[in-house]
Each structure stands twice: as structure tokens, then as C-alpha cells.
Structure 1
Amino acid sequence: MDRTDRAPTALRPLALSQGLLSRADGSAQFAFGNVAVLASLTGPAEVRIRDELVDRATLDIHLRPLRGQPGPASRAAESTLAALLAPLILLHLYPRALLQLTLQTVSLPSTAFTSPLSTDPLSLDDDPKGKRKRKARGTGLGAAEKAARINAAMMSLVDAGVQTRGVLVAVAVAIVPSPAARDDDDDDDAEEEEEEEELRLDPTQHEELASTSTHVFAFSFGQAVGGTEGTCVGVDSVGQFSQDQLFDAQDVAQKAAQTVLAFVRRSVETKYGVEGKPPPAQVRALEGGRGADEDDDDEEVGEVEDEGSDDDDQVMIEA
């Protein structure tokens, strides 16, 4: 299927809202087009004794699907999300506390039971010419929802003021048969064309169903955790694909993640009224002795120094 509304490497319209829930310490809703996930964070709060950790906070994640009850797939997604967020959150700053994260899919187009699915996305079918060709039967839904889920969870942490080492951004990529591969040509190279596939960034539900593989990439941004370029910290792939296809999808996803990060920054600045960079702090080294020509302000600094430690490398930061 061809894209008529956007390029294969273009994102759908992004949407981010923070502070939606009044009874949560932090909340955010992130959406890729018509796929939206709402996240709420409670904590740091009191934790049960059996779950208490003396050196760090306990991260508890719960997923709520759009329909039905959470099952094994939700439990696996919770473990994956915890593995991505735990190294990024400064959990040691909240010992003996609980950070409870709940995610609810609030908008997801339903294509359930519209086409048969198989554990093998590529199946062999016989064509009228007697040749056996590989036909994509889809990998099911979930790639765009997984990416929105990660972004919503990260932004709920930001809204709650939980300290982290950086920001986590996720995007989804699908590999689908190209239009040339789906045309039944009578040329001798028709069989080679059937193997052609193309990347689709931020796939729709129909593209995921027609894909041979889907990939969700998570990138961390921040000082010492990825910088401005981003470091890939997680990959969730379903289907059959080659190594080159995976690397090509990662390159496309990394550029898209930078775009999503820029959108998130603008959204946060708009909400909290942040304009530009804060002025640099003035740092003054405190010496052990006092000079003869110190003014009244320096006397106050000396009093603060006497109450603190006597280290020569102590500094004072003036906002």
C-alpha cells in the first residue's frame, strides 16, 4: 500500500499533553497520529515492606490495554519498559520509596480479526505460474503503541519532577513490500522485484499488518547518556529481516527521534514558560582566611564558611 499523506520517512502529527490528571504526581499523554497513550506517575511514595529497597526506589509499572484485561503480553511489555527506564532514573535519590507508573492506551484504531496472522510473517504461497513466492502476512499491531508508551512514560517522569540522567525517546519503523514488489509483472526480473521492501517510519495499523517486520527503537539523550545525537538503548523487533535492514531502520529512527526530542522540548518550554538557557551561575572559591579589605557581604560569606567544613576546595554558588 502506498502512502498518500506523507513520505515513507515522515512522522505523523505529534501530540503531547502534561498535567492532565489532578490526583497524580505527574501525568502525560503522547500520541503518534491517532495512537495515544496516557501515563500517570505516583511517587515518591510509601512502599510496602516486602518491596522496599534500602538503597534505591522501587519502580512499579502497570500497563492497561485499550480493551480487555492485561495478560502475558502486558507483563512482558512492563519488564521491557522497566529495563529501559530504570538505568535512566536516579533511583538512589529516593531510597525506601515507590515510583508507580501506570500506562493506559486511550486511542488505538481497531483492526482485530481483519486478516489472518501467523507466527511466521513470511509464508510461501504458490502463484499461477507454478513459482513459490514469499508473501507477507503481517506482524500484528503494537509497534506505534509501544513507541508512544515509552514516550508517555518518560514525559510523566518529567512532569513529576523525578530526576533522570537524560530523556528517552522511541519511534517505530516497519518494513513492508514496496509497490514494485506487489505488482505482477511478466518480465523476467519479476521474481527479483518481489523481494524489494521499503522502510516506513511511524507505520499505521494497516502498514503494520502488511509488514514483514516491525521495529521499535529507543534512544537516550543527555549528557553522558547520548548527547544530542542519541544512543540506541533498546530495540524491539518482530518478524524476519536482514542485518542491513535493521541498520537502515536504526538510521532512519535515530533522525526521527531527534525530531521527536525537539518537539518535546518545545512543548515543555511552552508549558513551563522556559525561554532560552538560564544564566550561568557565579562560582567563587572560599578561602580559609579573610582579607583586610573585605566588605560586609564578604563577612556574611565568612560566617557561612565557619559553619560548614574547612576544606580549601569548597565553593559557593550564587544564583
Structure 2
Amino acid sequence: MSSSRPDGRSPAAIREINIAYDGLSAVDGSTRFSFGPSCTALASVSGPIAARLTAENPARATVEVHVRPLSSVPGTHERSVAAVLRGIIERECALNQNPRTLVQVVVQALSADVAGGSLVAAQINACTLALMNAGSVPMRGVVCAVGVGRVRNGGEVRMILDPSEEEAASMEGGGCFAFIFATGLSHASNNDMPSSDVVWTNYHTTPGTTFDESELVQAKELARQGAVVVWESMKKSLGDEEEDGVKMEI
């Protein structure tokens, strides 16, 4: 399919992924994740640490997530994203191995949030990598996320992967898809890559626009292709860190 996207990408291509382990002080792990130069999130992980009595869970570690916007103070949207991230972290981590402790995650948006789900995807990916960078919380799998946009070209609806800020203004919907990669899941891979399942999505259309199940399936499978690219980029970044003397596995 020929490209008509402003930056020349094909509909199934994502922007260049950049991953940096910033080594923030006073935390156990931190990572900066970017789709292109203008969609970036920074995440840090501390823990397991001693939990407050009110937060202590005798069966597992408690996860506490704080999301900070690019500017101003956290609001309803940031609290909603924090709840999503907490649910994803509880899915990908074996929290029962550290009962009565606390895992604190702080996510800082380093770009403005726009429609299309790409910033939320960057925040999810930054959290996953910060957890692996910390190495202190056992993980069941690796969650990778990517945004999908719904656009109309004439009378034809099509999906685009990782919509840019410029494209978001003309979309009729879209959202983020997060996949967990682990052994023994339902969607098998044809190579040495772990299988994957969707753990969360907020895909939607604009008011007055409807979509059917086949469109949702199409969006999910396009997102899965993008999540595979994210997974491969994560693996490469961890290999680069190991060459620098820090051993992490995916």
C-alpha cells in the first residue's frame, strides 16, 4: 500500500524508537522511551521497599503509580493513566514474591498528550523497561504497547500505526493496544519470540462514528505488528546495556 502519511511512513510503520537508561539517582531503575523525537515518556521504579501500614498487603507487593503531565499538575487524565499502568504492572509482575512491600513507579510525560494513544504507549513501554532496569521485581512477561489511528481516505477507512501529532488532528478514532509477551500464551510466534496476548486497549471512535468487530480485529493485528517491533527494540537495548556491564534479560 502506498504511503500518504505526512512523514512518508507506510500505514504499518512506526516512528524511530529511542530507548535510554538515564540512571536517575535515588531510584532502582529508570528508562526514557520515545516514538520519534516528539513522543517521549520517562519512568522510574523504586522497590520493593517497606510499605506504609495502610498500603501493606499480606499476600503480595502493593503497586503505587504516579503520572505527571508535561506541564501543570496531575489531573483526572493522569489519575486514569496511573490506574491503567498499575493494572498492567500487576499483570506483568510476580508481586506475590514480595508480600507486605511497596513498588513505587513514577511516570513523567516529556511531550504533550494528543489523540491516538502513542503517548500512553510510550508511558507503558517506559514502565516495562524501568522495571527490567531495576531488576528487583520478578516479572511474568514483558508488556509492549503502540498506538493505532483510524483515518478516512475518501470513503475508505484505514488504520495507521503510531499516529503522529500531525495525523491525530484528522483521525476519526484510535487508541493504544498493550500486549504481554510471555511463554505459553494464546498467540504463538513463528520464531524465538514469545507468544503474546492483549492486556489492555482503549481503542474507540469519535462520537457519531461506529465500527464493527472486524475493524477492531484489524486494529489489534496491526497493533500486534507494532508491538513486535517495540519488543525487538527493547531486546536490543537490553543487549546493549549488557555489553556495557549491566546484565538484563527479556
* TM-score of the aligned structures, taking structure 1 as reference length: 0.68
* Counterpart selection for 1:262 from 232, 241, 248: 232
Corresponding residue of 2:65: 61
Query: Is the contact between residue 15 and residue 35 of structure 2 (CA under 8 Å) also seen in structure 1?
Result: yes
Query: Does 1:35 find its partner at 2:39?
Result: yes
- Residue 159 of structure 1: SS of its match in structure 2? helix
* Counterpart selection for 2:76 from 72, 76, 100: 72
Q: How many residue pairs align between the two structures?
A: 230
- Residue 58 of structure 2: SS of its match in structure 1? coil
RCO greater where, 1 or 2, for CA within 8 Å and sep 6 or more? 2
Structure 2 residues without counterparts, runs of 5 or longer: 189-193, 245-250
Deviation >6 Å, runs of 4+: none
Aligned pairs (5 A) from 1:1-319: 2-33=5-36, 34-108=38-112, 141=115, 143-161=117-135, 162-178=137-153, 181=154, 193=155, 196-225=156-185, 228-239=194-205, 240=209, 241-273=211-243
Q: Could you give the per-residue CA deviations for residues 45-96 of structure 1, whole angstroms, max 9, x where no partner exists?
A: 1111011111111100000000111111111111111112202211011111
CA distance in 2, matches of 1:6, 1:105: 25
Q: Could you give the per-residue CA deviations for residues 183-212 of structure 1, whole angstroms, max 9, x where no partner exists?
A: xxxxxxxxxx3xx12111000112122111
1:259 deviates by 1.4
Query: Is the contact between residue 230 and residue 258 of structure 1 (CA under 8 Å) also seen in structure 2?
Result: no
CA distance in 1, matches of 2:51, 2:185: 29
- 78-87 or 62-71, which deviates more: 78-87
* TM-score of the aligned structures, taking structure 2 as reference length: 0.86
CA distance in 1, matches of 2:5, 2:229: 23
1:19 deviates by 4.2
Query: Is the contact between residue 14 and residue 161 of structure 2 (CA under 8 Å) also seen in structure 1?
Result: yes
- Residue 87 of structure 1: SS of its match in structure 2? helix
CA distance in 1, matches of 2:116, 2:89: 19
> Kindly tell me: are residues 210 and 92 of structure 1, through their superposed partners in 2, closer, same or farther at Cα, counting changes over 3 Å?
same
1:4 deviates by 4.1
- Residue 148 of structure 1: SS of its match in structure 2? helix
Aligned AA (2:197)? T
Query: Is the contact between residue 165 and residue 225 of structure 1 (CA under 8 Å) also seen in structure 2?
Result: no
CA distance in 2, matches of 1:158, 1:225: 20
CA distance in 1, matches of 2:22, 2:29: 6
* Structure having the higher Rg: 1
